[in-house]
Structure 1
Amino acid sequence: MLSIETTLVQFLNHQPELSGIPVSTDVPAKRPEQFVTIERVGGDESPFTDRPLLAIQCWDTSRVQAAFLAQRVKVLLERATRIPAVARVRIESTLNYPLDERSPRYQITAELTVHKHT
């Protein structure tokens, strides 16, 4: 089974609502105006389930645009239960999380429940 980060990257990259907006686990070397990154920042595991805590960062040209992008991504994350192993998606928070004034971004924190053996 792929990591949940990789699985979500693939899932979001195939959503028409994010057409033209790259989603990856790393900040692209050549930063586009809009992009999304996903990283696991915690969570817990049992032999049968994984409950990853993920930080999904939505980067854009302005704080307002980053907030709009985060809203779109949140809607799509709720659909991630269509992935066979994903039983639940819980959005914990969405907040302004700028790296600096020139890098507007919003961060979504989400906890998933993932079945390990599907």
Structure 2
Amino acid sequence: MSINLEKTVKDWIDTDPDGDGLTAYLEVPADRPKRLVTIERVGGNENEYSSHPTIAVQAWAESRWQAAQLATSQVLPRLLDLDLLDPIAAVSVESVADFPDPGPPPQPRYQITIQLDAATQ
């Protein structure tokens, strides 16, 4: 059985008890809220019994400061706990960076890139 790890990350962020109603999306919604998180697989590799996706988690907000705070104070701690879920064995953070969306109009955004190690069966 194949596991959709993008959806797993989305659901994990959505169910954060300290998330203040923060919603994660697999695509930027047409009616974009003022702050949101998007999840996108951007690489990685697959083996017969394991998956090692690279996932970009983007925190969007009204200002660069708010995007940075959302990414580092709220989203990052939640991502580091992904290994509490079955079948994720490990999470490594590859980068945390300012990554503004060029628009139009430009939108403040921070990106956290993670690598997961997960069983596929």
Distance 1:111 1:2 in 2: 15
State yes or no: 1:37 paired with 2:38. yes
TM-score, normalised by the number of residues in structure 2: 0.92
Equivalence for 2:108:
104
- Displacement of 1:2: 3.6
The size of the alignment, in residue pairs, is: 117
> Residue 12 of structure 2 aligns to which amino acid in structure 1?
F
Deviations 1:46-98 (A, max 9, x none): 10110000000000010000000111211100111111100000000000000
Aligned-pair CA distance for 1:17: 2.2
Q: Gaps spanning 5+ residues in structure 2: where?
A: none
Q: Distance in 1 between matches of 2:90 and 2:3?
A: 17
Unmatched tracts of structure 1, length 5 or more: none
Moved over 2 A (4+): none
Task: Indicate the percent of aligned positions where both proteins have the same amino acid.
Answer: 37
3-state SS, counterpart of residue 17 of structure 1: coil
| TM-score where L is the length of structure 1 | 0.94
Alignment partner, residue 89 of structure 2 = 87
Separation of aligned partners in 2, 1:7 and 1:91: 17
Deviation at 1:20, TM superposition (A): 1.7
